[in-house]
């Protein structure tokens, strides 16, 4: 393999690989992937929705009770613009999450036979083997004793 083809090893990418493999290892079936992804999507929506609601309330309170005062000092416009911008961004995120939910519902209707779920488990074990698994540790030890290594 050429150096340029090796996966990036920066801290962000390494964290991603680790998390990616962990999700495969801990949720190795189609059903489990469906459940964890649904839960992740819903928790994302719940949290964003609550913060959005809170910011909208805050904006309303500011508009009503501090309007005159802030107009005189001239600071209100700048402050409210940034909150308004954040609210717009969060509304966009929520709209996209809603679209993703509609697409995910189709994915999550699918069920597969147990044999196929077994295949999922098998492939998951190959893609993301447990780094602390005893077989894995033995294999690593064997690999480090190969004759082509200079110290052997």
**Nearest distance in Å: CB 6, Zn ion:** 11
**Nearest distance in Å: CB 16, Zn ion:** 8
CA–CA gap between residue 18 and residue 33 (Å, rounded): 17
Indicate whether 132 belongs to the interface with Zn ion (CB under 5 A).
no
Give the number of residues in contact with Zn ion, rule: CB under 5 A: 3
**Nearest distance in Å: CB 135, Zn ion:** 30
- Side-chain half-sphere exposure of 109, counting CA atoms within 13 A: 5
- The contact mask relative to Zn ion for 11-40 (x = CB under 5 A, - = no) is --x---------------------------
146 Cβ neighbours under 8 A, 6+ residues apart? 152
CA–CA gap between residue 65 and residue 10 (Å, rounded): 49
Question: Which residue number, 15 or 136, has a Cβ lying nearer to Zn ion?
Answer: 15
Phi-psi region of 133 (alpha: psi -120 to 50; beta: other; left: phi over 0): beta
Give me the residues that bind Zn ion (CB under 5 A), please: 8, 10, 13
């Amino acid at each position: 393999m050429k150096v340029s083809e090796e996966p990036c090893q920066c801290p962000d990418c390494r964290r991603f690989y680790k998390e990616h493999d962990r999700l495969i290892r801990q949720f190795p079936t189609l059903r489990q992937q469906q459940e964890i992804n649904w839960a992740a999507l819903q928790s994302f929506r719940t949290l964003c929705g609550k913060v959005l609601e809170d910011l909208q309330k805050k904006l309303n309170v500011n508009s009503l009770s501090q309007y005159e005062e802030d107009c005189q000092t001239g600071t209100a416009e700048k402050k409210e613009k940034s909150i308004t911008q954040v609210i717009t961004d969060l509304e966009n995120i929520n709209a996209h999450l809603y679209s993703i939910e509609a697409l995910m519902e189709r994915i999550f209707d699918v069920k597969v036979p147990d044999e196929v779920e077994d295949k999922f488990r098998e492939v998951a074990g190959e893609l993301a083997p447990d780094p602390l698994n005893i077989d894995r540790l033995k294999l690593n030890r064997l690999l480090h004793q190969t004759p082509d290594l200079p110290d052997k």
